Structure 1
């Protein structure tokens, strides 16, 4: 109990030092800039991967409000994905915008761990781009997990002879796969983004917190937007963009909070030695 209290005090002290809300606003901005280039990039990769866009949209739909999903679907339908030039532009746009977001995350994590960032602009940008490429590869690999899960379900259905209701139940478990995807992506982000490079075992709790908190906050925010909030009445045609911005802003707060939790718990482990 005493250790938990010490972690809480250390966490709160670091939380006040790190500019959580300002950095979360930066992340929300960069997330919006990189969202559609990243989706275009995935669309152009689909012919080479055993996944389809419906699966990606289903995975996003497990967390996103209906208005956000409508915005994403509408914009993707208006894009020509067979244009190789569009693929090149989407790669450049994704790398540049997402690397800005990774830079902001790295600064937040370094501040939380008490690490001074002494890299030059060029080195920091190159490191951020390498991390961005790594995170994109992790996301693509993680998106393949539901595909393999469906293959396993079909194999068990045909080999063992389960009833058709088994496939229906198996299909409803996609939210488990979505949670696992989110957990994997965050785990590598918390591992790779800080300059100190903590071990995987040292970032598990922050990853678990962020995964659970993101699902809870997304569900609550989606319920509010879909049933209670009327952003269109206040912001007009920008209502959906505002919803997306707030959704990403909450996401940024949760990511940074998970990093601060990892730093606080690591500090307590060091004090025990």
Structure 2
């Protein structure tokens, strides 16, 4: 990696940090985490209703819960209990109830869309119906990722439980290879989600390669922080002691906030990279132009300029006399 490339990376990170703080992105992350907490279980319940109606599967709740716990650092028992409580309050989730759940759940996508546009410095909104369509598309994408996670998880279970010699006993017993495949799948699904958000949601042109690099960084950070958070909560956190029965809610909101910070910071990386690259290219062009002008002064001056690093004090004097026409 060249020195200029290292300089570019350092400038991008520095600029992203400065703009992240200047644009109040930590507060925007707090808003996203709040709306995520409000929207999560209505969306999950709507997904269960739709999945159950389409697939005619009585175990829809268990399967959707399993897909949700792949992304969130909370126990399946907590998700199931909350879903049961919400479903009782809503009654039978028919068509009208499902529409209400979807409408309630779309608030997080509204907050995410506005926050991403702020991260890109975009003040011009899209037309109203275009924005609502974008939020609905985000919700559909979220559901598609859940279904993909569910399908891959089921496939992994079938492979793991199958007594096929080709996979080997170590793979079946949970070896490093097996866990690596599970983690890689989780990172891949997160990558698709971030790529979708970074490419399509901002009301500006975002190149695929820029969105892909930012999405990959966000997905890797998301997976690392998720596992660290689960480890920390399981070993050191005292949420239940401080907050009592709402400790799990506080932990979930904390995780949602961290995830939103990752989302917005990587969005800043993507938005600032073209500007930093353009500024460095302009600076390099200016340096080359200045150098060419100096080399075109006279043939003698050009020769001395090229070897200027080896000039003695006498040579410097000779150069001065030459430039003044006294040589």
TM-score by length of 1: 0.80
Counterpart of 2:124 in structure 1 is: 117
Aligned counterparts, 1:82-161, within 5 A: 83-85=92-94, 88-98=96-106, 100-119=107-126, 121=128, 123-148=130-155, 153=159, 161=166
> Where does residue 274 of structure 2 map in the other structure?
266
CA distance in 2, matches of 1:266, 1:157: 52
- 8 Å CA contact retained: 2:42, 2:105: no
Which has the higher mean CA deviation after the structures are superposed, 141-150 or 49-58? 49-58
User: Could you say which structure has the greater relative contact order, defined with CA pairs below 8 angstroms and 6 or more residues apart?
Assistant: 1
Corresponding residue of 1:191: 199
Give the drift of 1:232: 2.2
Name which of 39, 42, 45 aligns with 1:40: 45
Deviations 1:234-270 (A, max 9, x none): 2222222211111111111111111111112233344
Q: Is the 8 A contact 2:67 2:149 kept in 1?
A: no
Moved more, 112-121 or 9-18: 112-121
Structure 1 position 43, deviation (Å): 1.8
Q: Separation in 1 of the partners of 2:84 and 2:108?
A: 26
Name which of 206, 219, 223 aligns with 1:215.
223
Change (3 A) 1:12 1:40: same
Matches within 5 A, 1:1-80: 1-47=6-52, 48=54, 53-62=61-70, 64-66=72-74, 69-78=76-85, 79=87
Distance 1:45 1:176, change over 3 A: farther
Partners in 2 of 1:143 and 1:269 — Cα distance? 40
- The answer to whether the Cα contact below 8 Å between 2:35 and 2:111 also exists between their aligned partners in 1 is no
Structure 1 stretch 249-258 or stretch 142-151: which is displaced more?
142-151
Which structure's CA Rg is the greater one? 2
The 1:52–1:253 alpha-carbon spacing in structure 2 relative to 1, beyond 3 Å, is same
1:122-152 C-alpha deviation (Å, 9 max, x unpaired): 553343233333443344345433345556x
Provide the C-alpha distance between the structure 1 equivalents of 2:62 and 2:185, rounded to a whole number of angstroms.
15
Gaps of 5+ in 1: none
Q: Which one is further off, 9-18 or 28-37?
A: 9-18
Which residue is 2:301 aligned to? Answer: none
Moved more, 50-59 or 15-24: 50-59
Q: Distance in 2 between matches of 1:197 and 1:149?
A: 38
Question: Separation in 1 of the partners of 2:251 and 2:42?
Answer: 19
Are the equivalent residues in 2 in contact too, given 1:206–1:262 (CA < 8 A)?
A: yes
For the pair 1:256 / 2:264, whether they are aligned, the reply is: yes
The separation in 2 between residues aligned to 1:168 and 1:42, in whole angstroms, is 32
Gaps of 5+ in 2: 1-5, 283-327
1:237 aligns with 2:245: yes
Could you list the per-position Cα deviations for residues 164-223 of structure 1 after superposition, in whole angstroms to 9, with x for gaps in the alignment? Answer: 554445864333322221111111111111011413211122212221222222222222
CA RMSD after TM alignment: 3.3
